[in-house]
Structure 1
Amino acid sequence: MEAYDIYVDGEVWKLDSSFGDKPVADVLRSNYGVLRSGALKEIGAELLARSSLCCLCALRDSSELDHYLPQEDFPEFAALSLNLVPACSVCNNKKRRDFRNERGEQTFIHAYLDDLPDSLPFLRASLSDAPTVTPSFHVVQPAGMSASQFTVIAQQFELFELDAAYSGASVELLLERREALEEYFGDGGAADVMKYLDRDARSAARRVGVNHWRPTILAAAAASPDFCSGGFRYL
């Protein structure tokens, strides 16, 4: 119960298991199987339905429940709902059992416990110039964000290879707008393309927040004179 209280307080990465290899550990781990396919599977389905998108990448559909504290090391949290985060199989496999780094510090964002300030944009995107237009993403520490919080964000961005994931999705997103971009360019040139993309970016940011990859790449495209002047044809 003391461990559960510490978990709720938020400093999850400081916990150490009380069970280790004791026989009761296997019994505790088996609770997760009951939650996912046993008598309590409806509750497990409700936990997965908390988010249709993976809470680790915000890109792919969630299909699994990730144990923030791995059940191999922390059997007492195997079926604790606060420890079960909807995730895609790609991110779940990449995360494995790494919840703290070699310095004993937090490695990943906790989707339920970490409060990320939506007013501080930390995700940025850019577009390379023609003849090949390629999106790329990176994170920056905004004014007002602590170094410790940014370190966790940067670690998650790197370890889940979100630059590559977001770049690939961004190409598809922009290609879906190819016909509209051509029409706006034909009607009013680069200025109309810029307005269209900027409007689309602001609309997306209102729906999903300024640090989602979708409004980030749309804003970057709107801010690129080369892209808006016809560079979109070279995606």
Structure 2
Amino acid sequence: MRNLVALPDDPPYLDRYVAIRDKKHKTTRKNLTAVHALIEERYLAYAEAIDKSSLASIKSHAPALLVGDTLRACYDGATQPLKKLKQAIKDAQPKRLLKYCPMCGTTLPGTFDHYMPAVKFPEFSVHPLNLVPCCAKCNSTKDADWLSVAGRRQFLHTYTDPVPDLQFVNVTFQEILGFKGVGANFSLVRPIGVVDEFWNLISSHFQRLKLIERYDELGNDEVAEILQDCRIHLDSGGQDIRGFLRGRAKDRCDVYGRNHWIAVLMDSMARDVNLDKWVRVA
């Protein structure tokens, strides 16, 4: 799990909105132009909330909701400037990072999520910091339910919430009866030094998206593949399977973050006293 790179505000985010607006049909464009001052004001509010780490304090804006359908049309219609914006967001990311959804780390991010839901905040429907590349499962699970009943954010903002460089995803292994394989069970463990507010956000993100359950579902097959790769490494004349596996884990960690579930899995397997036995019978 690693933060996405925010698209630079150059050209300004508002200019990107204007470029999209100006490619809409005449009536829509006219209506959007009429509320330009509202959009400008709300973009400033978004920037201030990001600076103060207070996104949850932004409330739905009644004047924006009144023209919500028109504002959402900026995203719903496939204009060239919108395609350019989406591509710019993807191009801003380091190579390989978007091989996995940044919200779950398990699947290809084939959609964009509106972090602040477009149905409640239509004025941010094409704001670059409000468009998060993600998979369809995370997108549909999150939907418009971004705040808890208590008004707290339930999901990490992958552009601006600083994910700590501390391991909080852990894994344990069990040999399946008769050694028919190795099972992996993941868990979330709070590291020392993470404050309550941010730990609650991380926990909520994992719980709402059922990430531990997803990792457990995928873990056994991934363990089998890793062991097979180790076996191939040895059969090809390679040695030191622990070093081989640590190297692969570090590569994953460097690209996807310390808490990417496969990086955690590889690193933990490299440290396990049973690795050599597992590889021999794989």
Report TM bin, short chain.
Answer: 0.7 to 0.9
CA gap of 1:54–1:31, structure 2 versus 1, over 3 A, is: same
The answer to whether the 8 Å contact 2:184/2:223 transfers is no
Is 1:140–2:189 an aligned residue pair?
Answer: yes
1:206 aligned to which of 254, 259, 271: 254
Task: Give, in whole Å, the separation in 2 of the partners of 1:165 and 1:50.
Answer: 28
Specify the alignment match of 1:71 in structure 2. Answer: 118
Task: Give, in whole Å, the separation in 2 of the partners of 1:214 and 1:49.
Answer: 24
1:88 aligned to which of 135, 147, 161: 135
Q: Per-residue displacement from partner, 1:206-226 (whole Å, max 9, x unpaired)? A: 333321112200122123333
Query: TM-score scaled by structure 1?
Result: 0.83
Task: Give, in whole Å, the separation in 2 of the partners of 1:165 and 1:214.
Answer: 12
Number of matched pairs: 228
Is 1:152–2:198 an aligned residue pair?
Answer: no
Is 1:171–2:220 an aligned residue pair?
Answer: yes
Specify the alignment match of 2:270 in structure 1. Answer: 222
Q: Which moved more, 1:161-170 or 1:101-110?
A: 161-170
Indicate the structure (1 or 2) with the bigger Cα radius of gyration.
2
Query: TM-score scaled by structure 2?
Result: 0.71
Q: Per-residue displacement from partner, 1:152-204 (whole Å, max 9, x unpaired)? A: 11111122121232234443433333344346789xxxx95444433432343
Task: Give, in whole Å, the separation in 1 of the partners of 2:84 and 2:129.
Answer: 16
The answer to whether the 8 Å contact 2:110/2:135 transfers is yes
Q: 1:225 is paired with a residue of what secondary structure? A: coil
Specify the alignment match of 1:19 in structure 2. Answer: 62
Letter of the structure 2 residue corresponding to residue 38 of structure 1: T
CA RMSD of aligned residues (A): 2.8
The answer to whether the 8 Å contact 1:194/1:223 transfers is yes
Task: Give, in whole Å, the separation in 2 of the partners of 1:6 and 1:17.
Answer: 16
TM-superposed CA distance for 1:113, in Å, is 1.1
Letter of the structure 2 residue corresponding to residue 150 of structure 1: W
1:28 aligned to which of 65, 68, 71: 71
The answer to whether the 8 Å contact 1:19/1:25 transfers is no
Is 1:3–2:52 an aligned residue pair?
Answer: no
The answer to whether the 8 Å contact 2:102/2:133 transfers is yes
Q: 2:170 is paired with a residue of what secondary structure? A: strand
CA gap of 1:208–1:4, structure 2 versus 1, over 3 A, is: closer
CA gap of 1:224–1:25, structure 2 versus 1, over 3 A, is: same
The answer to whether the 8 Å contact 2:231/2:279 transfers is no
Q: 1:27 is paired with a residue of what secondary structure? A: helix
TM-superposed CA distance for 1:20, in Å, is 6.7
Letter of the structure 2 residue corresponding to residue 60 of structure 1: T
Task: Give, in whole Å, the separation in 2 of the partners of 1:149 and 1:92.
Answer: 22
Task: Give, in whole Å, the separation in 2 of the partners of 1:214 and 1:79.
Answer: 32
Task: Give, in whole Å, the separation in 1 of the partners of 2:158 and 2:228.
Answer: 37
5+ unaligned residues in a row in structure 2: which ranges?
Answer: 1-40
Relative contact order, higher structure (CA 8 A, sep 6+) = 2
